[in-house]
Structure 1
């Protein structure tokens, strides 16, 4: 009986050792991240102050949208939207929504755009550049990344920066 007990203990020990090995498995992603798109928007009454960009968005994607608010030494300055600008004319909002097929970017707020001069339109409604970045939700869930900071996002996700 003692011999069977020893063999049983050896078999259990062997099973535990084999099942507890540390396997360093490489997971191959089926999607390519990041997915990015640049949009130049001209907001006007004809497009209801909105512009749409078609994209294939997975349910596991996080959609980030940034507006180029200026340039510093030839480098774009990106601000995450939604964003409210408090101007002397009133509040100007840049906002977005999305479906699995597209991202819609809108300009709105308390300002009556039809009453604004050419300088206002040139600065805030014409040739507005936006960058849409799709990143995987699973990686960012517990990530220490500031999504409002475009530079932090591209560094964390190892995204080559487009100029």
Structure 2
């Protein structure tokens, strides 16, 4: 009987101790105060993929080059890939709609005067598109120099290097970047 009483006493003691938590009766504590909002920061620059069309003329005054400075909304990093395409031609689809034909630079053409190359270089701040030829560039026809349209794509390094993206195919590049033709702004240079 002593064992049963001792066992019963131990169970009752255990139950009574477990109903109390550190001497508190289980009431909720007071709510804390909300923190203060911080000061809003400045808008950052867009470091995502950017695609821009530029239109300009190659002239002797500009040494047969078209210079485009990136606006503040575009930041180019050392690891980014800058691609430049020339609007080479247009065709029609089955609905009679115009379809642009783009070619990645550098692009070499055989013209009546000799070999002509559209080429480019870039920095973190700008793109310079220029003509090179084995003849006097002053002999070029307006169709090779006037109202030329170029598409510049700034591809973040991580987007370019982690896939087998075909840089020669502007449609594949834009699809990879999630950019549609209707979203590409065109800048007309003087």
- TM-score by length of structure 1 reads 0.73
SS at match of 1:154: helix
Match of 2:57 among 38, 42, 56: 42
Does residue 94 (structure 1) correspond to residue 118 (structure 2)? The answer is: yes
Does residue 138 (structure 1) correspond to residue 158 (structure 2)? The answer is: yes
Per-residue Cα deviation, 1:96-120 (whole angstroms, up to 9, x for no partner):
111111000001211312234xxx2
Does residue 62 (structure 1) correspond to residue 86 (structure 2)? The answer is: no
Gaps spanning 5+ residues in structure 1: where?
1-29
1:129 to partner: Cα distance: 0.3
More strand by share: 1
1:31 to partner: Cα distance: 4.1
Per-residue Cα deviation, 1:70-119 (whole angstroms, up to 9, x for no partner):
11121211100011112232111111111111000001211312234xxx
SS at match of 1:114: helix
- Residue 72 of structure 1 aligns with which residue? 91
- Residue 82 of structure 1 aligns with which residue? 106
Matched pairs, number:
130
Gaps spanning 5+ residues in structure 2: where?
1-44, 93-97, 185-190
Task: Please give the root-mean-square deviation of Cα atoms over the aligned residues, in Å.
Answer: 1.7
- Residue 20 of structure 1 aligns with which residue? none
Does residue 128 (structure 1) correspond to residue 148 (structure 2)? The answer is: yes
Per-residue Cα deviation, 1:16-45 (whole angstroms, up to 9, x for no partner):
xxxxxxxxxxxxxx8442212221121111
- The answer on whether the counterparts of 1:57 and 1:102 sit within 8 Å (CA) in structure 2 is no
SS at match of 2:181: coil
- The answer on whether the counterparts of 2:113 and 2:139 sit within 8 Å (CA) in structure 1 is no
Higher Cα Rg, which structure: 2
1:152 to partner: Cα distance: 1.1
- TM-score by length of structure 2 reads 0.63
